[in-house]
Amino acid sequence: TKGCKLVGSGSAAPTLRVSNDDLAKIVDTNDEWISVRTGIRNRRILSGKDSLISLSVEAARKALQMAEVEPDDVDLILMCTSTPEDLFGSAPQIQKALRCKTNPLAYDITAACSGFVLGLVSAACHIRGGGFQNVLIIGADSLSRYVDWTDRGTCILFGDAAGAVLVQACDSKDDGLFSFDLHSDGDGQRHLNAAIKENEVDHALGSNGSILGFPPRRSSYSCIQMNGKEVFRFAVRCVPQSIESALEKAGLTVSSIDWLLLHQANQRILDAVATRLEVPPERIISNLANYGNTSAASIPLALDEAIRSGKVKPGHTIATAGFGAGLTWGSAIIRW
Ligand code: ACO
């Protein structure tokens, strides 16, 4: 079988920075509560001319530059997002903005905070089974658009950002995507969702659609609803198991990983998972103090910062895991 390796990374965040003190002006909270319970101090929020597409394109360009790959040589773009700027998908708009003349396939993957790990899996499948060479994976979300800004239990947690990696086909001896472990539990949706709201509307064809014979509907999404304690428990229970099983599939143990790179939801979740796995604190990658929970963007954003700061070095092995709404969760053992 063919190998797949990570050859570039990039990231981008909106310019507007919102601190805990800023949030204390709009909801009954304070910096200490937020810092102690979550580790978050600032988050970036889309405003002005920024868009999810513009952030994604910036992150993608940086990843391509690092990899020294031209947009025309990309043959697949995977946009992992749950907040697309078009209900039908955002990936083709990224392809357009990157000016890929070869019209590579571009599509969205919707799996909330697990989106990026699912993107890695999809890239590996396309490379190993479909003959693809250069797959651009983007994780990007703008949950700020779906947050209830009067709910102090959720609005303090989230931020907007985009991260990207380029995965390239290679010889199997250079393989950098070792193993995956993936799960879902639809029963847990009640603990975390932004579900569709169906509003029956009067229609030009007659009140309640009497002429059509059925009531026409118009839909929108509700704000994020979350039972924080249940989500916390779910993450701390399921993520260590998943990482252990991915390590086992790769024939590795916890002692062989250089970094633990979890979805950046909450510092207490990161610490609890590391404790259960017996990973020492200095091997945890964390940047959530600056960005909050950026959903599908959080893993590639933190990875990119760690690569560019020299923390993650070529040859390092990383255990990464996404978890969140769906519920979905999954791990990947990767090498930079
Ligand atoms: N500021 C001050 N007080 C607050 C705030 C706030 N921002 N939010 C809640 N409180 C209060 C509550 O009202 C409650 O008060 P009470 O005791 O008088 O009723 C008290 O603080 C404790 O609230 P809990 O919700 O029990 O606090 P908890 O310790 O569980 O922390 C938190 C809440 C931080 C949300 C935590 O549960 C958590 O991080 N859970 C995981 C959430 C998560 O990561 N979600 C994202 C998943 S990824 C995705 O897919 C989007």
pLDDT (tens digit per residue) in 258-292? 999 999 999 999 999 999 999 999 999 999 999 99
Question: How high is the ipTM of this complex?
Answer: 0.93
| C-alpha 20 – ligand 1 centre gap (Å) | 14
Span of 108-122, 166-180, 207-221 with lowest mean pLDDT: 207-221
The confidence band for 198, taking pLDDT boundaries of 50, 70 and 90, is confident
CA of 157 to the centre of ligand 1 (A): 9
Determine which residue's CA is closest to atom 15 belonging to ligand 1.
153
Judge if the beta carbon of residue 319 lies within 6 A of ligand 1: no
Q: Which residue from 110, 231, 291 has its CB within 8 A of the most atoms of ligand 1, so it is best to mutate?
A: 231
Q: Is the CB of 192 under 6 A from ligand 1?
A: yes
Distance 153 CA to ligand 1 centre (A): 5
Best mutation site among 26, 232, 295, 299 for ligand 1 pocket (most ligand atoms within 8 Å of CB): 232
Q: What is the pLDDT of residue 209?
A: 59
Give dist(CA 147, CA 43) in Å, integer.
Answer: 13
Q: What is the band of 203 on the pLDDT scale with cuts at 50, 70, 90?
A: low
* pTM score of the predicted model: 0.95
Rounded Cα–Cα distance for residues 317 and 74 (Å):
25
Average pLDDT of the residues of the chain: 95
- Residue with CA closest to ligand 1 atom 30: 229
Confidence check: pLDDT of 241 > 80: yes
